[in-house]
Structure 1
Amino acid sequence: MSGSTPVTLLEVVRQLLSVAREVSGADGVTFVLRDGDQCAFADESAIAPLWKGRRVPMATCLAGWVMLNAQAVALEDIYADPRISADAYRPTFVQSLVVVPVRREAPVAAIGAYWASRHRADEREVARLQSIADAAALALESVSLRESLRQAERANRTKDEFLAALSHELRTPLTAIVGWAKMLRSGRVDADTTRRAVEVIERNADAQRRLVGDLLDVTHAITGKIVLELSNVDLVRVVQSVLESAAPAIEAKRHVLTVSFPTDAVVRGDAERLAQVASNLVSNAVKFTPAGGSVEVRLARTGHAVTLVVSDSGVGIAPDVLPHVFERFREADGGVPRKYSGLGVGLAIVRHLVELHRGRVRAESAGEGRGSTFSVEVPIGTIVPREGATIS
């Protein structure tokens, strides 16, 4: 293949189409990928549109037959072959074709060459196209290998960054606890200092407890061991309790808090887990909103669900990060500046708990520095357990 080494599947496909059309002299060529039990027409180069972007069942497509049987097909008259779906070809210019498999054993794709007038491809033409398909197989394997290596590198980098973040998050409260404990042991502290030391130790021990709890929740989510204790839950009371707990942090940063609650917001769910969802969202809003900013928390009943919305005027979310905010360890892998503490598991836990309640969660942001909005929709009715949850 000429030119620079392709680095993406799209680049590989386009170079293959260019070479295949030049070598065959065809009026059009297509590259068809196998996607489960469907043929996906990935790209084409032709004198008029063919089927780019379409997906059809393998069993109804000649390219599918070629991949399923690992055999090339050459047809001078496409309408004379029972394997051809005439309806698919009538809107096109195609009269004759050659389709060859990409990979001789267990084909993963096919290359098709098409002519606008009757053309009888001889064995040499078919062999040349098959040689291009063989080169395509090697190129695709190379792309796949490079992508696998990149994914492995990203996974290793994420793991290392997560472990570094975990070490930091564990060490910070431990340092405070050990320091104040040594001061108390010295016996040279007055009553006020003793009271302060106890408060600091309790606060940092609670931080440790939450950290370990988050890690256990992630583990339980992965292994499907989260148990939902169902009851009728008043989300107004749940959210009010969360806001009372967050009040000191909100006051310390002088946030303007706006709340809006309906008269009826009762759902069937796990009160403790729904409180955890609300707490994570409110805590994030407070953490990522600078002093003097605004935080809005509202509940609304919409049809057969209750929706919790938490908005803030904080740091916002970059467009390239937004689709990934509910992934595990997102903070740890650089999605959030290190000046903000956290392991990046809170939103992953939120998503998992909401989905266990058969609900939906969504994140919105106009970009960095423009705040963010998180919406959680929880059905009102009886919950049918999702995979990964036990209901008692």
Structure 2
Amino acid sequence: MNERSYHVMLVEDSTTQAISLTALLEQEGWRVTWVSSAEKAFSTLRETLPDLILLDYHLPGIRGDEVCRRIRMNVDTRSLPIVMLTSQEGQQVQGLDSGADDFVAKSTNPEVLLLRLRTLLQKSGLNERIIHGSEDSSFQDVHLLAIDDSAIFLDRLKHELSKEGYKLETCTDGEEGIKRLGERKFDGVIIDLVMPRMDGFEVCKHVNALRKSLHLPLITILLTGADSTDNLSRALEAGADDFVGKSNDYSILKGRIRALLRRKFFAEENNRILQEFRQKELEALRERAAKEAAEARAELVEELKRSQEELKRASAAKDQFMAMLSHELRTPLTPVMAVVEERSQDASLPEDVRRDFQMIRRNVQLEAHLINDLLDLTRITQDKMEFSFQPVDMARIIREVVEMCKTGDREQPTIHIHTEIQDACLMGDSVRLTQVVWNLLQNAIKFTPNHGSIEVSLKSESRTGQPFMVLEVTDSGAGIEPEMLERIFEAFQQERRQPNRQHGGLGLGLAISKAIVERHHGRLSATSAGANQGSTFRLALPMQLELIPKIKPVDAADGQSDDVSGATESHKPTRAQWRILLVEDHEDTRDSLARLLRRRGHEVHVATSVAEAAAQAAEVTGLQILISDVGLPDGDGMDVLREVMKIQKVHAIALSGFGMKEDVQRSLDSGYLHHLTKPVQFTQLEAALAH
């Protein structure tokens, strides 16, 4: 049994012959389709293609050689192996020339028939492998090699094959022939069976191995003077494509060569067509893929542009929302802050009432801090926090922040300052560094009992030749659990310690401080031995020693913008009376500020819009000060200043819930001398008036 079950189409008009042949083939495990005429053969081929056609030469109507030619003319069937059968002699050459691959007499031993059929089936299955890498075979010269120890036979063979247009090379030794096959390209080799040193079977085996290893599209014919079934079987097993007897009639050999070469060239041509089709299909696929990729890239680029535009719009909308949110949150705090600040210092009120107002003031200030923290966090996440670097004296900032922390009327831990360096100069943003020190101290106060203590030390260290200024804030308070130390500087990671006072907080101060410190190329860290063991926050900033003797540092108060938390009452206004135009659309803020200004002897005229401000400026002569909100129903503070200045010259102070640096700069660029961010402490307003 063969490993593969082949399908053979038998074209035979004799029922007796058909039954006999079908039985023989089926014994091999092959499937047989029997048709009795050429017409039925063509009809069957239109429906299915067999692995081999066994074709009788004598058929009713159309002879086998004509059937063979028509099969070879069809592109779908021309490569099918065809073995022609005949019951008469003298038709072999005609059958082979019509396109048959082999020609077998019906009287041939069945074993020989099966040997030839099996060999042809196996060879046809190897065509793809055999012709791999072959070049275009169209109109090419045919090169053959003959190996025979008889020089006379070789000369005669060369003469006969040259008539067919074949180019024949010869050699008389098997080893030399094998060597030549490895060095040059041949279409076929003709090998004599009986030779000294190496017989035809051995040469054929070497040729077959060479053909497989080098993928040579090579036909092999073994010649013999002793035709037998055993020799035929050994020849086919050795890899020969055909086994032909030697005789003086070269027509049979020529017919066999033509048949094998035709089959070889059919296979090569089919392969070439298939390769071209595959190449064109691959090129079409590549073009389609390239086009689809280009379209996809264009679509992705367009989508990316749309996404970027959407992100820009979303970012702008978010900025606008945060600005409006800060304005809306801060504006209502201004009248509250103004009133409670006034009342908390009113000596005519009972002490307990003043304490109530002081409590309200503390909570309003806390609310303002929370708003500022949220805005700072937004600036940090969007990388929009701006810094103004200049020489700063950290020792002075620490002293001022400690004083601010002590100004409250409530009990708090004792704060001790230890300064080991005299010239604590570095490059930084004084406002932001003040914010960091404030956050660290407030954090320590928040989690330390009233009877506890806070140690603030300032010293210098050197790392790899670079001097660093180190601030340490150590408290004796609640401490920090080890698992919380890793997250202590993350936003909204409020430590789960129980404060000794009911302070709120969003857990943003330390996150903001760390971001500010990193922008100064410094490092902020925290250590603690655990719960109730206190904690130490360590701030390390690089110093610029060369700046100390050359430049006078700027302190926090001098460098501070009006929108920074922790503003102090360092500016004491002189008590002069001014004629003031107050423009504010928020009723409570307008009324409270007007009332407080009038109590201090100022003449105050009020307006709620740009139009009213212009009308007041035209009506009231001798205006000296303009205090205007930036956001108004019919314009902004810049419009107010422009309209008023058309009528009379004034000194201008802007009030706004918009407190980003660009907002402050916009006010100053438009002509305002000061920009006070709401909620405005009245002492701040007095300081601005004094200037």
TM-score interval, normalised by the smaller of the two chains: 0.3 to 0.5
Q: TM-score, normalised by structure 1?
A: 0.47
- Structure label with greater radius of gyration: 2
Larger relative contact order (C-alpha < 8 A, sep ≥ 6)?
1
Q: TM-score, normalised by structure 2?
A: 0.27
